[in-house]
């Protein structure tokens, strides 16, 4: 006879938290998404030792009242959807599952300092500081603080030693954090995003809504100056005018962004970021298509920089994806590949950066 027992609450909670919070970068992802959903115009991310010793995300968004922040750290609480119908009709926010703050609080020491933005119609505009330790709210008190929200996560996995041990060296954990923050900074050039590691600023964008400026802040001036604009739309997409190239028929309505000069390259493919309807994804089909467009213009084992935004008709993408799943697959992968290669190729041709007639490699 085996003894089948019901797990206690604390164990269930920590296991569930582990599904959302895998490592420091997953905490950073959830917190930054919350800041963006809160209409922030500024998001400052600070991490210590790759995020293992501390993660702070500060925003100037709508903030929370004491009642709101107390609710926010409970299980399955969200202000973003009400029921499954809201989900079916499409969500306009990055989050909606209502599990991130609770999960983070279950496996760390969490401090939230928040004050509602002055234009919000709420019963109090006072600031509040709330602390959670291993899933328990340990204090809620008034606090003098600016409008917006600052969330501090200390000692991640202090109460899940097996998880803590599995974390990699600081540099590796920071590389993951950097990838996450970079991807949001590039996708949201209208928001000033900064990243600081162990007291040193890695990058800061200005929030002036200029994609090239965001690329410059993140990748440097040389790369930014070498980038050419990609702008292609399918004829049926309805948006007329402008200087857009025509996109061949296929699943995508539009492709836009920036790609680098064929001689501004790196030795890995990771500098090609792709966004589907504004959401950061990893899509090997897209990377392959970009490289294909350069043909023989790229030196062997060299890869370009690319920041590409794909418009996919709503309904053709599932929003109910797992929070950690970034890899997307398109139903018509070949069609997507052709459209992207065509868009990038015409961008490079427009700038005289491709020898026309060069055979594709």
Interface residues with Mg ion (CB under 5 A)?
Answer: 34, 95, 100
Q: Between 18 and 248, whose beta carbon lies closer to Mg ion?
A: 18
Shortest distance, position 129 Cβ to ligand ADP, whole Å: 14
Q: Between 129 and 211, whose beta carbon lies closer to ligand ADP?
A: 129
Binds 62: which of ligand ADP, Mg ion, none (CB < 5-8 Å by kind): ligand ADP
The Cα 338–Cα 361 span in angstroms is 14
Determine the residue with CB nearest ligand ADP.
95
Binds 179: which of Mg ion, ligand ADP, none (CB < 5-8 Å by kind): none
Shortest distance, position 336 Cβ to ligand ADP, whole Å: 29
DSSP letters along 51-86, please?
Answer: GTSEEEEEE-SS---HHHHHHHTSTT--SS-SSHHH
Shortest distance, position 55 Cβ to ligand ADP, whole Å: 13
The Cα 347–Cα 209 span in angstroms is 21
Determine the straight-line distance between the first and last CA of the chain, rounded to whole angstroms. Answer: 63
Shortest distance, position 195 Cβ to ligand ADP, whole Å: 17
- Ramachandran quadrant class, 77 (left: phi over 0; alpha: psi -120 to 50; beta: rest): beta
Token code pair at residue 6: 């019901």
| Chain residues in the site for ligand ADP (CB under 6 A) | 30, 34-35, 38, 59, 61-64, 72, 77-80, 95-102, 149
Q: Between 38 and 45, whose beta carbon lies closer to ligand ADP?
A: 38
Residues counted in the chain: 361
Binds 343: which of ligand ADP, Mg ion, none (CB < 5-8 Å by kind): none
Binds 72: which of Mg ion, ligand ADP, none (CB < 5-8 Å by kind): ligand ADP
Shortest distance, position 61 Cβ to Mg ion, whole Å: 12
DSSP letters along 267-307, please?
Answer: SSGGGEEEEETTEEEB-HHHHHHHHHHHGGGSPTT-EE-EE
Q: Between 130 and 336, whose beta carbon lies closer to ligand ADP?
A: 130
* Max CA separation in the chain (angstroms): 75
Q: Between 95 and 304, whose beta carbon lies closer to Mg ion?
A: 95
Q: Between 95 and 189, whose beta carbon lies closer to Mg ion?
A: 95
Q: Between 77 and 277, whose beta carbon lies closer to Mg ion?
A: 77
Binds 35: which of Mg ion, ligand ADP, none (CB < 5-8 Å by kind): ligand ADP
Shortest distance, position 33 Cβ to Mg ion, whole Å: 5
82-96 in b/e form (b: 16+ CB < 10 A) is: eeeeeeeeeeeebbb
Binds 231: which of ligand ADP, Mg ion, none (CB < 5-8 Å by kind): none
336 near 234, Cβ under 8 Å? no
Shortest distance, position 214 Cβ to ligand ADP, whole Å: 21
List all residues 6 or more positions away from 86 whose beta carbon is below 8 Å from its beta carbon: 96
Q: Between 112 and 286, whose beta carbon lies closer to ligand ADP?
A: 112
Shortest distance, position 114 Cβ to ligand ADP, whole Å: 7
- Give the pairing type, strands 42-48 and 192-197: parallel
Binds 111: which of ligand ADP, Mg ion, none (CB < 5-8 Å by kind): none
Cα distances (Å, whole numbers) of residue 116 to 17, 123, 149, 150: 27, 10, 8, 12
The Cα 345–Cα 246 span in angstroms is 12
Residue with tokens 């600031």: 127
């Amino acid at each position: 006879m085996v003894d089948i027992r019901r797990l206690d609450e604390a164990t269930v909670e920590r296991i569930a938290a582990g599904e959302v919070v895998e490592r420091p970068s997953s905490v950073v992802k959830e917190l930054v998404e919350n800041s963006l959903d809160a209409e922030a115009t500024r998001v400052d991310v600070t991490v210590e030792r790759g995020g293992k010793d501390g993660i702070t995300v500060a925003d100037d968004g709508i903030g929370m009242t004491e009642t709101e922040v107390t609710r926010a750290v409970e299980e399955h609480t969200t202000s973003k959807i009400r029921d499954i119908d809201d989900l079916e009709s499409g969500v306009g926010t990055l989050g909606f599952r209502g599990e991130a703050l609770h999960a983070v609080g279950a496996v760390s020491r969490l401090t939230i300092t928040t004050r509602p933005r002055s234009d919000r119609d709420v019963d109090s505009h006072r600031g509040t500081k709330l602390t959670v330790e291993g899933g328990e709210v340990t204090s809620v008190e008034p606090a003098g603080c600016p409008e917006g929200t600052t969330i501090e996560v200390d000692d991640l996995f202090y109460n899940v030693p097996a998880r803590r041990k599995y974390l990699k060296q600081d540099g590796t954990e920071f590389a993951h954090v950097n990838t996450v923050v970079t991807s949001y900074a590039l996708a949201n050039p209208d928001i000033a995003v900064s990243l600081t590691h162990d007291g040193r600023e890695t990058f800061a964008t200005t929030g002036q809504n200029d994609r090239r400026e965001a690329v410059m802040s993140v990748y440097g001036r040389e790369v930014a100056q070498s980038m050419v604009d990609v702008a292609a739309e399918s004829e049926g997409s309805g948006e007329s005018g402008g200087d857009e190239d025509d996109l061949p028929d296929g699943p995508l309505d539009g492709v836009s962004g920036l790609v680098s000069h064929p001689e501004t390259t790196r030795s890995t493919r990771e500098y090609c970021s792709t966004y589907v309807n504004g959401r950061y994804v990893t899509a090997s089909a897209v990377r392959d298509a970009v490289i294909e467009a350069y043909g023989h213009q790229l030196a062997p084992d060299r890869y370009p920089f690319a920041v590409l935004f794909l418009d996919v008709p709503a309904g053709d993408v599932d929003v109910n994806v797992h929070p950690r799943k970034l890899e997307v697959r398109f139903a018509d992968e070949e069609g997507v590949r052709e459209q992207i290669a065509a868009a990038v190729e015409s961008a490079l041709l427009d700038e005289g950066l491709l020898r026309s007639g060069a055979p594709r490699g």
